[in-house]
Structure 1
Amino acid sequence: MSRIGKKEIIIPDNTEVEINESHIRVKGSKGELSYQLPKSISIKQQKNQLQLTKNDETKKTRELYGLSRSIINNMILGVSEGFEKKLVIQGVGYRSQIENNNLILNVGYSHPVCIEPPNGINIKVENNTNISISGINKEKVGQIAATIRNVRPPEPYKGKGIKYENEIIRRKVGKAGK
């Protein structure tokens, strides 16, 4: 039984939710998002709260119950507050820059790596080594951050590479060498 799916979703004052059968549109100060609920899940709005209910008790419905609640909650948080991920580049000569809204990474390859952000995602670079990714869609923000990190993941010996701001890299001891 999903504990997440049973929780009510609280709608902030500056956010507007529009429900049309199983299609949900959320408008806020940062933008607008929409989501199509599965047929086996229904939603009710009471003043400033949303409540999801299951229409049947199949395994697939139980799987989608908590997922749907999390997606709708993230939509509401996204249009009211937004999401942000921060990446840090470590390594001698490793740097990044923004050029024509594209992120250019120089991380030890023979060529610079160009990453084009999708619509609704903003990428900022501070002092060549700190990258900030922000947007209203949590899934897109996390995916583009993972794509950037995947260009040069941190290695365990020297710690060189691209890592999340609060990520801890387990370091290994190198060769003993006599």
Structure 2
Amino acid sequence: MSRIGKKAVSMPAGVSANIADGVLAVKGPKGQLTMPMSDDISYEIEGEGVLVKPANETKRARAFWGMQRTLVQNLVTGVTEGFSKVLEINGVGYRAKVQGKTLNMQLGYSHDVDFAIPEGIDIKTPDQTTIEISGMDKQQVGQVAAEIRRWRKPEPYKGKGIKYRGEYIFRKEGKKK
């Protein structure tokens, strides 16, 4: 039995859910998010929340149960609060700034790196070495953060590169004489 799956997803005031054509749609103050429903899981909309249960007693249904409940919770959180990730840039001359719908980064290459900001994502640069990524869809926010980080991953000797806020970079000792 899934401990997470047993709990109903509570919906705060101003949030509504709708099931139609195999798609669960959640609407809230920030907008609307949809998720395709799994055949192994049954979804029931009750007065104050969404209840997720396995549709049958197969191993696959029990395995998907907790994950599907968490995905529904992410939809509700996304339309009410949203999600955010913060990236930090370390390195001499490394900086970033938002110009319209592109993120312009100088990361030690011979050219500037321009990253097109996708729809549904908001990127802010409060200072030259901090990038704040926010949006409704948790998966999309994480994917954009990973794509930006991929341009210059932190290296283990000096720690130069783009890292998540709070991420620990395992440091190596340099060359000895």
**1:3 aligned partner:** 3
**Pairwise CA distance, 1:59:** 2.7
> Is 1:158 paired with 2:134?
no
Aligned to 2:139: 139
**Closer/same/farther in 2, CA of residues 163 and 104 from structure 1, 3 Å limit:** same
Matched-pair contact (CA < 8 Å) for 1:4–1:66: yes
Aligned length: 177
What CA distance in whole angstroms lies between the structure 2 residues aligned with 1:18 and 1:67?
19
Query: Following the alignment from structure 2 to structure 1, what is the Cα–Cα distance between the partners of residues 92 and 120?
Result: 32
Q: Secondary structure at the match of 1:66?
A: helix
Partner of 1:35 in structure 2?
A: 35
Deviation at 1:169, TM superposition (A): 1.1
Q: Distance in 1 between matches of 2:116 and 2:60?
A: 35
Structure 2: which 5+ runs fail to align? none
1:55 maps to 55
Q: Which amino acid aligns with 2:81?
A: E
1:122 aligns with 2:122: yes
Conserved? CA contact 1:22–1:42, under 8 Å: no
* Identical columns (%): 45
What TM-score, normalized by structure 2, do the two folds share?
A: 0.94
What is the Cα deviation at residue 3 of structure 1? 2.4
Q: Are 2:66 and 1:80 equivalent residues in the alignment?
A: no
Q: Which amino acid aligns with 2:157?
A: Y
Query: How much is the aligned-residue C-alpha RMSD, in angstroms?
Result: 1.3
Q: Any runs of at least 4 consecutive aligned residues in structure 1 with deviations exceeding 3 A, and if so which?
A: none
How far the C-alpha of 1:81 sits from its partner, in A, is 0.4
Q: Specify every segment of 5 or more residues in structure 1 that has no aligned partner in the other structure, as ranges.
A: none
CA distance in 2, matches of 1:49, 1:145: 31
> After alignment, is 118-127 or 81-90 more displaced?
118-127
